[in-house]
A and B are shown apart, each in its own frame.
Chain A
Amino acid sequence: MSFVREFIAHLFPRVVRRNDLKLTYTFCLGGLAFTAFLLLMASGLLLLFYYQPTAEGAFASILFLEEQVAGGKYLRSLHRLSSHALLILLFLHTLRVIWTGAYRPPRQLNWLIGFALLCLALFAGYTGYLLPMDQLALWATQTGMELLHTLPGGGILHAFLVPDGIGGSLSLLRFYALHIVVLPAAMLILISLHFYRVRKDKGVLPYL
């Protein structure tokens, strides 16, 4: 635990230069994306108490959540809208980094970490899409998984993600496991690294 405390302590700079606080340089897009991520974790944690990851029970559990649970509909909307917000903010954040040239050395490693985070966020959104098991979810996943076959090694990926086809119980369970454990954990680790690198690279200001 001391490691975590140390880590958090080092996230904050010893001194803040006035220029660092200029809003129009970063537009806080990265921080806002992180806020969306925290909202997703919080709302997702609550959704976890009602969602049933079975092919038969998934959609019924969504209906139950929306109709019988106080604030259920609100929470689900919050989770969905936060996911849209996260992707939009990450995209804008990426654009800002390109515009201000923040990907250039010595920050090239953080650019790669950030790109990995963008891909993980997209994949997290994609795995979450199937979970309600309604028509939209089913067909979107069906077409997306079919697209995998255009990639080299796509067949192996397809067999890993949807071993019993879209709508099968194993496939749903795998998407669920990825969505609630694997991807958030991977993202948390990379987010921590991302912030650590920002500090190591002496903040966000351009090197003059």
Chain B
Amino acid sequence: MEESGRRRRRLIAALIAAAGAVFFLGRFFRPLTRTAEVRLDVPREPVPADGALVYARARVALVRDGDRIQALDLTCTHLGCTVTVTPTELVCPCHGSRFDRKGKVLEGPAQRPLKQLRLEEREDRWVVTV
């Protein structure tokens, strides 16, 4: 009787300690710096009609579609390789996913469209943020 009570108290204390530890560690491993990350900051150049400016290192392409210009994230949504920009579409060299110039999937294995990034014109620069 007394023994089982002691055991229960010990178990409850252990559970509370474990929950506290999980909570603290969860907070500890997630640092707070989640500001808008600047992916690209380059001098502004005109985007050719029906063409694109490709910045492979930053994994960003500025694609013109009529008079709209949008920034596409070149990270393939399948396994994260960098997709190649061709005149008509975007192709992933790793597993052959194909996307159209708006980032929509034409052919798998990728299932989600390419991410669109925020494009801003600051003075005479293109700035792309996530």
Contacts and interface: CB of A to CB of B under 8 A. Distances in A.
A146 B79 contact: yes
A163 B81 contact: no
A74 interface: no
Contacts of B29: 159-160, 163
Interface in B3-47: 29-31
A131 to B, nearest CB: 19
A143 B29 CA distance: 22
B114 to A, nearest CB: 14
A123 interface: no
A142 B30 contact: no
Majority secondary structure, A binding face: helix
B80 interface: yes
Contact of B80 (A143, A159, A163, A170): A143
A139 interface: yes
Majority secondary structure, B binding face: loop
Contact of B78 (A139, A146, A160): A146
B81 to A, nearest CB: 7
Interface string A142-175: 1101110000000000011001001000100000
A163 to B, nearest CB: 6
Nearest to B76: A146
Interface in B52-99: 78-81, 94
B31 A142 contact: no
Interface size class of A (residues with CB under 8 A): 10 to 19
Contacts of B94: 143
A159 B34 CA distance: 12
B93 to A, nearest CB: 11
B30 A146 contact: no
Nearest to A166: B80
B31 A146 contact: no
A170 to B, nearest CB: 7
A146 B110 CA distance: 12
A139 B81 contact: yes
B30 A159 contact: yes
A139 B80 CA distance: 8
A145 B75 CA distance: 13
Interface in A111-159: 139, 142-143, 145-147, 159
Contact of B30 (A145, A163, A166): A163
Interface string A58-96: 000000000000000000000000000000000000000
Nearest to A139: B81
B81 A143 contact: yes
Contact of B79 (A142, A163, A170): A142
Contacts of B78: 146
Contacts of B81: 139, 142-143
Contacts of A142: 79-81
Given A143-B94, A147-B79, A166-B80, 7 more contacts: A142-B80, A142-B81, A143-B79, A143-B80, A145-B80, A160-B29, A163-B31
List 8 A-B pairs, minimum CB-CB distance, nearest first: A143-B79, A146-B80, A142-B80, A146-B79, A160-B29, A143-B80, A163-B31, A159-B30
